[in-house]
């Protein structure tokens, strides 16, 4: 491989991929790129953070930006559903200027690098596997020094027709040492739609997950290892973002921020003592919430606003297939606890498994009502090709286009259902769940009532969601929404 010019400018581009659903709730930044840009800059490079996804930019617009910026490197990122569009970005970069070095990272390329090089080697120079900060800097330094790229750990490249994967590097030991390029973020676009005057950030307090859910990628990506930032470092960052950029709501990107109880409690204490005031949206595990029953009041006082628990299934049989190490009753209790403290409770149910039937799915929806989260997401199982459950799902896959592997579109055909039937049932599940919520609004606290009305309005006005929920909300719900919003304006 021969790279003639010195690398300085690195254009980090998020792929123009949209699954529509989460994006209706807010505009979300890419914290992975904020980390990568921070490390590149500390090593003397000139990174540009370009969130084409959040701008809803087309390939044409992206092309113009590449032409204007004239970068030495174009780098992008892809989980499985985003890989098709991410590869289009790299192809475009090479078409504009074949001397641009192209790089891709994140979970899908980390595992599916052979497939990528088999079909797309003409425009993908490097894949970075695993954590990107040290590897990308090492790669670019090696190219600039004219060194042997085979000495760079955790990369994959094409060498005269064969794919070379170098040995994996260890994980970054101290996450507190990583610089973040927050100043490169275009802050005004990032908002959370259910909150007025919001400025939304995504912040990472830890990396990794110690569980082994068979459908999930994260346990494999982090090899079931977990590392946390110190409470001082993390809480300090929330204060910095609040004071410098006006961030008043953050999503914590962690798989399990609560894993180390001592660290987590210290974070809560600091958030309370220092009156940080930033609203926090987070996910965690059922067992950690049960463990924390005695300090749930601290969650509330620390302004934890939403807790998402991956319940995933309502029968013990499916929980066992998913290797979800929880019991049905534990999930119910954990959601009750979150509700007791007036925190918005969210959960998801993964449906469309090979043995699912219309009756079974409807039963799940009834059980979802019994669980009583404020928000429930009825997801279509996505057969990520590197997941543990993949061999079991493979015979039932009917759609091979990765861009549909987004938990929204059904791609696995149950034995006794068509894909259209699964799509229909998922839509009905959401519609019925939220209608039920609206009919029983008075059971919720005033804060939650207001929140649910805003959410239902987003659902009923978003054309993409409307389509997925099998048509419009009934007239009585629409009238009710108008009436309630009139009341809350007064």
Among 57, 72, 255, 421, binds ligand SF4 (CB under 6 A): 255
Of 135, 211, 348, 449, which lies in the binding site for ligand SF4, with binding defined by CB under 6 A? 211
Least distance CB 208 / ligand SF4 (angstroms): 9
Residues of 280-314 as b/e, b for ≥16 C-beta within 10 angstroms?
A: bbbbbbbbbbeebeebbebbbebbbbbbbbbbbbb
Site map 202..241 versus ligand B12, x via CB under 6 A: x-x-----------xxx-----------------------
Please, where are the H alpha helices in 71-184?
83-96, 107-111, 113-120, 133-144
Q: Is residue 429 near ligand B12 by the rule CB under 6 A?
A: no
Question: Which listed range, 74-82, 330-338, 349-357, 410-418, lies at the site for ligand B12 (CB under 6 A)?
Answer: 74-82
Q: Which does residue 211 bind out of ligand SF4, ligand B12, none, counting CB within 5 to 8 angstroms by kind?
A: ligand SF4
Residue 42 contact among ligand B12, ligand SF4, none, beta carbon within 5 to 8 Å by kind: none
Q: Is 106 in the site for ligand B12 (CB under 6 A)?
A: yes
Ranges within 272-311 binding ligand B12 (CB under 6 A): none
Q: How far is CA 311 from CA 13, 330, 417, in A?
A: 33, 10, 23
User: What own/partner pairs with CB < 8 Å and gap ≥ 24 does 294-302 have?
Assistant: 295/265, 295/268, 296/337, 296/338, 296/340, 296/341, 297/341, 298/265, 298/268, 298/269, 298/272, 299/268, 299/341, 299/343, 300/341, 300/342, 300/343, 301/268, 301/272, 302/267, 302/268, 302/271, 302/272, 302/276
Token look-up 């628990």 returns 309
* Contacting range for ligand SF4; rule: CB under 6 A; set: 8-16, 215-223, 261-269, 465-473: 215-223
Q: Kindly state the smallest distance separating residue 219's Cβ from ligand SF4, in Å.
A: 4
Beta-bridged to residue 192, according to DSSP, are: 26
Helix (H) / strand (E) element for 425: namely helix 419-439
Whose structure tokens read 């204007």? 68
Number of residues that bind ligand B12 (CB under 6 A): 44
* x-or-dash string of contact with ligand B12, 393-422, rule CB under 6 A: -------------xxx--------------
Instruction: Supply 475's token pair.
Output: 């007239």
The residues binding ligand SF4 (CB under 6 A) are 209, 211, 213, 216, 218-219, 255, 285, 310
The residues binding ligand B12 (CB under 6 A) are 14, 17-19, 21-23, 28-32, 35-36, 53-54, 75, 77, 79-81, 103-108, 128, 131-133, 136, 202, 204, 216-218, 253-255, 384, 406-408
């Amino acid at each position: 491989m021969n790279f003639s010019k010195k690398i300085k400018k690195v254009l980090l581009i998020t792929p123009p991929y949209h699954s529509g659903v989460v994006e209706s709730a807010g505009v979300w930044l890419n914290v992975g790129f904020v980390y990568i840009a921070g490390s590149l800059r500390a090593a003397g490079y000139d990174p540009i953070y370009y969130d084409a996804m959040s701008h809803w930019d087309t390939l044409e617009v992206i092309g113009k930006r590449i032409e204007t910026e004239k970068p030495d490197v174009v780098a992008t990122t892809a989980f499985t559903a985003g890989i098709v569009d991410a590869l289009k970005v790299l192809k475009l970069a090479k078409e504009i200027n074949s001397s641009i070095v192209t790089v891709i990272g994140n979970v899908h390329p980390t595992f599916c690098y052979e497939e990528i090089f088999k079909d797309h080697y003409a425009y993908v120079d490097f894949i970075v596997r695993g954590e990107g900060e040290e590897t990308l800097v090492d790669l670019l330094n090696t190219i600039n020094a004219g060194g042997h790229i085979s000495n760079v750990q955790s990369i994959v490249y094409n060498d005269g027709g064969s794919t070379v994967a170098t040995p994996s590097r260890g994980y970054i030991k101290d996450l507190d040492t990583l610089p973040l390029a927050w100043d490169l973020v275009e802050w005004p676009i990032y908002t959370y739609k259910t909150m007025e005057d919001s400025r939304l950030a995504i912040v990472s307090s830890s990396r990794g997950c110690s569980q082994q859910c068979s459908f999930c990628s994260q346990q494999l990506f982090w090899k079931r290892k977990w590392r946390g930032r110190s409470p001082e470092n993390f809480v300090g960052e929330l204060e910095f973002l609040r004071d410098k950029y006006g961030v008043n709501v953050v999503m914590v990107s962690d798989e399990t921020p609560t894993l180390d109880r001592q660290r987590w409690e210290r974070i809560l204490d600091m958030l309370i003592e220092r009156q940080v005031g930033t609203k926090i949206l987070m996910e965690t595990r059922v067992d950690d919430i049960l463990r924390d029953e005695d300090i749930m009041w601290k969650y509330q006082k620390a302004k934890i606003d939403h807790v998402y628990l991956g319940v995933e299934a309502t029968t013990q049989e499916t929980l066992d297939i998913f290797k979800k190490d929880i019991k049905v009753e534990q999930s119910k209790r954990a959601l009750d606890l979150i509700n007791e403290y007036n925190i918005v409770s969210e959960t998801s149910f993964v449906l469309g498994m090979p043995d699912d039937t219309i009756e079974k799915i409807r039963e799940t929806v009834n059980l979802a009502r019994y669980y009583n989260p404020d928000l429930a997401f009825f997801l279509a199982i996505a057969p990520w090709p590197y997941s543990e459950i993949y061999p079991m799902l493979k015979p039932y896959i009917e759609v091979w286009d990765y861009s549909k592997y987004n938990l929204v579109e059904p791609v696995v055909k149950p034995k006794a259902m068509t894909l259209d039937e699964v799509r229909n049932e998922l839509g009905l599940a959401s519609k019925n769940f939220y209608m039920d919520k609206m009919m029983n609004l008075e059971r919720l606290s005033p804060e939650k009532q207001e929140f649910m009305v805003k959410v239902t309005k987003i659902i009923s006005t978003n054309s993409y969601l409307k389509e997925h929920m099998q048509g419009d909300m009934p007239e009585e719900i629409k009238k009710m929404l108008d009436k309630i919003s009139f009341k809350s304006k007064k």
